[in-house]
A and B are shown apart, each in its own frame.
Chain A
Amino acid sequence: MYVDRRVAPPILSVSGFMDPSLPAKPMTRRFFLRVSSATLLAAPLFQPLPALAGTWRFFDETEAATIVALCERIVPADEDPGATWAGVVQFIDRKLTGYYHRYQQLYRLGLQGVHQSSLALFGKAFVDLSGVQQDDLLRKLESNQAPGNIWKQVSATEFFDRLVDHTIQGFYGGPRHGGNRDAVSWRMLGLPTAPVRSRRPLTAPWSTTPNPPTIKL
C-alpha cells in the first residue's frame, strides 16, 4: 500500500511549482521604500488590521475572523507588530489556494473544531474569548486534548502544528508571499531586507552566466 500524502494536486498542474499567488511583477525598490516610510509614520501602534470584507480567497468571513484571532495569539502584537499586522493571514489564505492547496481540508475542519472546542469549554466563539482563554484553548489543541467531534476526523495537534508553522512562515518569510509586511519581522530583529540586484534580467552586462536557451513548450 502506498500512501500519497499529497491529497490534491496543486492548481497549476503544468508547472506546479509556480505559485499563482506570486505577484506577476516584483515590487520595485522605489515602491517598496515608499510603502515602508509611509507605514512607519502612520502606524505607531500595531493594532491588528480588521479584515476587509470580500478580500479572502479561501476563508469565509467567520473563518477569517477566527484565523486572525488564532494567528494573533501565535505571534501577538506587543512593542512590535503581530501576525495579523504582518499579513500572516493573507499569506495563509493565498497559499491555501496555491502551494498549500493540500491543506484546505485541514483548515476547514480545524476551524470548525476550534469553534466546537471554544463552545464546549467557554460557551462562546473563539473570537469572543479573552486572551487567556484563547491561549488555554491553543494549549489544548497543542496537546490534543481539545473537546469536539471534529477532532475525531482530524488531529487537533496536526492542525495546531501546521497553523503555528504557517504563521511563523508568514511572519518571517519574504514579503513577496504576502506576509512579513514591510519586512516587519526582519526589522524587529534588526535585519536588512533582501538585496535587489537579482531583479536585473540575466542578460544585464554584469552577468556572465550564458543566456538560458528559450524552450518552446
Chain B
Amino acid sequence: MKIKHVNVVVIGSGAGGGVVAKELAEAGLDVVLLERGRWVTPDQERKDDLRNQRTTVLGPSCGPDEDKEPRVFVDPEGREQIVWPADGAYNNNAACVGGGTVSYGAMAWRYMAQDFQMKSLYGVPAGSTLDDWPITYADLEPFYEKAENEIGVSGDVTPDPFKAPRRHPLPMPPLPDSRETQILKPAAQRLGWHPFYIPMLRNTVPYNGRPGCMRCRWCCGFVCECDAKNGTQNTVIRTALASGHCELRTHCIVAGITLDTKGRAKAVEYFDAQNHRQTQTADLVVVSGGAIESARLLLNSPSALFPQGLGNRFDWVGRNLQGHAYSGAFGLFDHDVYDDLGPGAEIAICDFNHGNPGLVGGMLLANEFCRLPYQVANMAPLGIPRWGKAHKDYMRTWFRRSIVIMGPSQEMPVFSSRVQVDPKVKDYWGIPVARLSGVDHPHNIELCKFASDKAELWLKEAGAIQVTRRQKTQSWLSAGQHQAGTCRMGNDPKTSVVDKHCKLHDVDNLFVVDASVHANNGGFNPVLTIMAVAYYASDYIKRAWPGGGLR
C-alpha cells in the first residue's frame, strides 16, 4: 500500500527534529516524524547506576539498539575497530523519542555573541577550519527566548556580566542552594569571579502542566520519573501530536533520501517497525538525526546530481566533527559537602569563556552532576588503590567529601575529523554504518589545561585539602554527546553544507536542523542552541512556505 504523501517528513525526533515537527505541525503543515528509537519511559528504564545514558557498562538505556547499529572507529594510529553503542569510541548520544533530551543533564546555555564570530575575533588557528557562523547572536536571541519559554528553563543568569544581552529573565527560578553551591559561590566571589545559577531545562516549580524537580541523585543520563526534566518528548513533540497535524512513527530507520529529476528531494526510504522497506514522499525533507547520523544519511543518499552523497559536492559533509573535551578538577574536603540533592550541577561561571590571554575561546566552569558511587569508585585520585580495604576506606571517607568542577572547552574544528560511511560494514538493515576518524585540534589541550588550572584554583579557594586535576592530555576524536559541526552552516557553498536558514545549498526543499549545522560549538553544552536554531529555521520555512520554492 502506498503511504500518503505529506508536506514534511522530519527524520529524527531529538532536540532539533522535535522543535521543527511542532513548529510546522502547529502551522498546519502535515508532518510525519520518523524516529528509529522507541518511547523511553521511567518505568521501563529505571534509575540504574550501571545502565543509563552516561554509564553504559550494562548498555545505554536510551538507545540505539545494541545489536543492530554498529559503527566503525578509526583510532589515531589508523586502526579500525567495529564499535557498539555502549563503547566510548562509538561516540553515542541517544536514539529514542526525544533523542538526547530525554536523558540529558539539561544545562540550557545560550552561546555568547562572540561564539558566532570566532574567526573575526581570533583569526584561524593553524590546522583548523574555524569560521564565523553566517548568523549572529542577535538573529537567534528571540528564538533562544522561545526555547526557554516553550520547553521550560529555570535558573538565574542575572549575576553573569559576560552573558549576551537578553530581553527577559528565565521563566523559572533556580532550585534552593545545595551544599556545594553554598561552598562554591562565595569562594568564586572571593576570587573576583561572577558565579550564577546554571540555566537548566528543568522545572523547579510546576510549569507547562508538569511538576517541579524532586531532586534525586540520578539525573544526568537518566529518564526523570516525575517528568520535571524538559525534553522535546514531553513538550514540543506532545504539542505536535496534539495539533492533529503530526504523526510520529517510532522504530523507523531512514536509509536514504531520493531526489526527483529536477534535483529536489522527493522521498525518504525507511525500514519500519516490521523491518519492511517503505517510501514516504513529501514536499519538504528535514534531516535531524544528530551530527553523526545526519551526515551518514546524506552520505548514504548519492544520486546522479550528487555522486559523493547528498549536498556533498565540495566534500564538506561529515567534516569538522567536534564535541567538547571536558577538563577540570576533583577536590577532596575535610568536611561533608554531599547532600544527595539532585541534579547536582547548579553553580557556574563564564569568566573564562573569552578574553583568555594567548587562547582562542574558552569554557564555562560548573560543578558536576551528582556522582554515583560507581562513578566515584572509578575516580579515585592517583595513588589510591582501586581495591582492598584502602578502596573501601577511600569511599567511606571521601564519597561525601568531594566536589568536581568541569567545563566544556571550545573546540577548534578540524577538517580531517570526520564522519564517512564505511565501505564494508553495514547495520542490521544493510545500511552502511558511520565511520569516525580523525583527532581534535592541539589547541584543545591548551584550553583544557587552562580549565583545570581555574577549576583547581576554585576548589582550593573553597577549602579543598587535596585537588586532583582531571585534564585531557592527548588528542583524540571529539564528538560524543555534544557532537556537532558535520553539516556546517555558511554562506559559501564551497566551504559549508547548509545556508543560513539550514537549507542544503543546491537543494531547495531539504533542510538539516540539528547540531550538525553548528559552525562552532561554543564553550557551552549545545542543546539550547540546537533548539533555538530549530525555531529559527522553522520560522524561515513557515514564512517561505506559502508562495516560496519549498514545494
B273 and A215 contact, CB distance less than 8 A: yes
Contacts of A212 in B (CB 8 A): 38-39, 41, 250
Q: Which of these, A4, A99, A209, A213, contacts B250 with CB under 8 Å?
A: A213
The 9 closest A-B pairs by CB, nearest first: A212-B39, A16-B67, A198-B225, A172-B373, A198-B42, A173-B50, A74-B387, A172-B374, A194-B47
* A173 in contact with B49 given A76-B392, A192-B340, A198-B42 (CB within 8 Å): yes
7 extra interface residue pairs, beta carbon distance < 8 Å, beyond A168-B374, A197-B42 = A10-B67, A74-B391, A165-B57, A174-B48, A174-B50, A191-B217, A194-B47
The 8 A CB mask of B11-39 against A (1 = contact, 0 = none) is 00000000000000000000000000011
A3 and B387 contact, CB distance less than 8 A: no
Q: Which of these, A3, A78, A198, contacts B392 with CB under 8 Å?
A: A78
Complex alpha-carbon distance, A198 and B226, angstroms: 8
Could you tell me which A residues sit within 8 Å of B by CB distance?
A: 1-6, 9-10, 13, 16-17, 19, 26, 73-76, 78, 80, 95, 99, 135, 138, 164-165, 167-169, 172-174, 176-177, 185-186, 188-192, 194-195, 197-202, 206-210, 212-213, 215-217
Complex alpha-carbon distance, A4 and B422, angstroms: 15
Contacts of A9 in B (CB 8 A): 67
B47 and A195 contact, CB distance less than 8 A: yes
Interface residues on B, range: 35 or more
B46 and A198 contact, CB distance less than 8 A: yes
**B82 CB within 8 Å of chain A:** yes
What's the nearest-Cβ distance from chain A to residue B137, in Å? 33
Binding stretch for chain A, among B143-151, B256-264, B353-361, B394-402: B394-402
What's the nearest-Cβ distance from chain A to residue B371, in Å? 11
Q: Which of these, B57, B373, B387, contacts A191 with CB under 8 Å?
A: B373
Contacts of A174 in B (CB 8 A): 46-50
Contacts of A167 in B (CB 8 A): 387
Residue of A whose beta carbon sits closest to that of B211: A206
Complex alpha-carbon distance, A52 and B7, angstroms: 64
Q: Which of these, B218, B250, B386, contacts A215 with CB under 8 Å?
A: B250
**B177 CB within 8 Å of chain A:** no
B392 and A208 contact, CB distance less than 8 A: no
What's the nearest-Cβ distance from chain B to residue A189, in Å? 5
Complex alpha-carbon distance, A217 and B82, angstroms: 28
**B465 CB within 8 Å of chain A:** no
Residue of A whose beta carbon sits closest to that of B386: A164
